[in-house]
Structure formats: structure tokens, C-alpha cells
A and B are shown apart, each in its own frame.
Chain A
């Protein structure tokens, strides 16, 4: 049981390039989330999904797109990367339907640098 995994672990992009971050979970969780973490800012929600085929905007969605084609995967895309998107990105998942189902479990993170 791997929990939540993220690929890649590190990436360096040039301004204007695009990339996709992949998140996978093997816990059969309904909900999945993408956060960014910046020094002094805490974790901020980018987008989230409440089930396969659904997505919704979080606190800081601009410049990002997401897709949830399969229940176990949640993809985060940057169409035209900007230096302001340099950050550490975390994926999380939670299982909504049980007591305590709002607990979010996090992946190991992706460190992205945009030059």
C-alpha cells in the first residue's frame, strides 16, 4: 500500500514551458487535492476533485488546470509556466464517507523551479 505518490520529485522549467504533475493514490479515496506550499504562506489549495470526472477551483487556481479521468489519479497541468509558480506542490486525498473521512493524506511533494 503506497498511499499517495507523486511524479516527478523535482523539475526545472523555463518560463513559458508546460508540464504535468501526476498524483496517484491506492486507498480508494473519493476526494483529491492539489496544494502549493511557499515559505511563510502555508499550504494553499489550487484545485480539488470530489470524484472521478469532477474538478473544482480552490484558493489559487489561476495558471493551473486539472483532470481526474480515473478515480486513483489526479493531474495538475501548467500550460505556460511563470517564475511565480516556483513552489513545492503537494497532492492529498481523503475518503469522504466514513467517520474521520475528512482526514487528508499527503504525497511526498514535487519541487518545481521556473527560471
Chain B
């Protein structure tokens, strides 16, 4: 069974204090790994897709990396506006069709002044 585990569940940082969020996964074969940002009361907003081990993608203060067992979302010098829940999802090779994703439960990030 495909599984996605995110850690920590919650993270509190001071502005400018860099850190990383972890997404570990177990799938029969990985077609893609996705990162989303979700603000309270809103729908998930797409951030990155990673397709192969060693791949990295960056957007502003965020950088996502991928290995064969896990992905990291690195946040460099975060600002209060980076506060949100970050969701990780995997697209396994064998889903029975439909490009179905398996989601983790998310990391709730709060960045304080």
C-alpha cells in the first residue's frame, strides 16, 4: 500500500530561521512527487513536482529535493507570509488509472517575527 508520512506535524520558526520539512514515502514505483501549500480556509496551491531522485526545484525561499525514499522542502530565511500547511503527495506508477495521488497529512508551519 502506498504511504506518505510528513514530519514534523507542526513547526514554529522565527523569521529568518531556516529549516526543512520532511516527506517520506513508500510506493511500488514513483511517477512523481508533489508539494502543495495550503492557507487556512483555502484549497491547496501547487508548488513543485519532482520526478526523479536527485532532482531539485526552487521558488523564492523554497527548495524541494528528492531521493529514492524521501523529499525535503527547505525553507531559507522564512518570512511570516510563509506560514501555511505544506502538503506532500505521491503519484505512484500503479494507480489503476486517473493519475491518482496519495497525500500526507501535512506540516503546519508558523513563522513568527
Q: Give the interface of A toward B (CB within 8 A).
A: 4, 31, 33, 40-45, 48, 50, 56, 58, 90, 94, 96, 100-109
Contact = CB atoms under 8 A, between A and B. Distances in A.
26 contacts: A4-B43, A33-B98, A33-B100, A40-B105, A42-B103, A42-B104, A42-B106, A44-B103, A48-B98, A50-B97, A50-B98, A56-B97, A94-B99, A100-B49, A102-B31, A102-B99, A103-B46, A103-B49, A104-B99, A104-B101, A106-B36, A106-B44, A106-B45, A106-B46, A107-B43, A109-B42
Interface of B: 31-32, 34, 36, 41-46, 49, 87, 89, 91, 97-101, 103-106
Contacts of B46: 103-106
Contacts, number: 57
A33 B42 CA distance: 17
Given A106-B45, A107-B43, A43 B98 contact: no
